Chain A
Amino acid sequence: MSVGPLFLAFFQVLIAGLLVGAIYGLMCVGLGLIFGVMRVINFAQGDFLMLGMYFTFYVVSAFGVFSFLGPQAAPIAGALLAGPVLFAGGWILHRLLISRVTGTRAAAEREAGQAQLILTLGIALILENGALIVFGSTPTAVHTPLSWSAWMIPFFGGASSVLFVNKARAVACVVSVLIGAALYWFIGRTRLGKALRAAADNSEAALYMGIDVDRAHSVAFGIGTGITAIAGGLVATYYTFQPYVGFDFVIIMYAGVVLGGLGSILGAFWGGMTIGLVQQLATLVLPMQLQNAAIFVVFLLVVQLRPQGFFGRSAERV
């Protein structure tokens, strides 16, 4: 039995969509955590992604720190290490700068929102141009044998019809899902995770419970930064990047977070997944250049029909 080529192509892009979607999902989770807990529009999120990419590149390709793990596992280890390192970076950044315009200190000031926008935009510019000075403008990538190898899955028995699953993306997908699940558990089940959600819901009441809201925000900002950096490290195994790469992703991240429902971690993941699927499925019917246009058509449709996003709550009593 032979399967129509269109049918095969559909499953091929569906798989591609799921793989990319999981990584987009992880990026969105990082941003969604920061936005959900702190209500800060962070323009620098794409640049944290970029830092995760360069971190992985230098640790793995330039210095070969993990070369003992072999060429397959080293990039994954590098990307995972980017998490805690950029967690620390995000924590310090929040302590030194972001906390001046957010949280309890800013609660009394009406214009804090504008200060937040200017500050994160400034951080984004500094990170991008700093990266340009330090890393140079030459596009680069983390080389791994997985990037150009694929699993071939026989499809409906036909010898000629085979589905290709890129190994680098498949591994990145699995790691993304695992980290996303771990974060979901942390936010939902642990005491600190619940305190983060309480601080997000009502920071004043959280203070009355004895929750150090500024510290909770530092933790959330650090985790959000670290998660996005891991996603960056994973993307770097199959995507060429330069210091301005954050821009390619930051719009996708925001679209995913809004699509999933602001403030929902699970929603952010599915929002990112939806964008990955739409982006890949669109290639079936639209030219490559319109991939991202398709994302925003779907985005507008969803927001039109369900303004609160997939997992957002439409209304609640106060």
Chain B
Amino acid sequence: MNAPARHESYVLEDGEKSVELTEDTKIPNAATIKIVKQDHTLGNMLRAQLLAMPQILFAGYKVPHPLHPYFIIKIQTDGTITPQEILEQACTKLIATMSNLETKFKREFSYKDVEAGGVTAAAGEDPYGTAGGAGTGAWGRGRDYLDF
């Protein structure tokens, strides 16, 4: 009855900001970033990417509550770059890896297409080919159970 709309967990509302940055008041070169409508899929990937960068002193993320659709990520850098900039760099790198992976996948799939003579191409568009309609073929297929 008063359940929230189901897509609220992954679709931004009108005017809602997806990223919110709070600078740390006590630790130098540190910030906490709240990312809304995202979960471990992005959080963990981003954290791992940040840790692989040499300017990072600390990066960690948490999803404070499984029912609240956001995570927070804490970043501390060595001062040569701000947390915001390094986060942007990390995202750019991830996107680059993603598109690189996509081209690789495309190429691999096209090789497979040639090998299999187009079988997989059909699978991409229409997984069950163009075989004639079975329609209501299953009608009255029941076995000989007799009604009493």
Co-complex (A, B): no
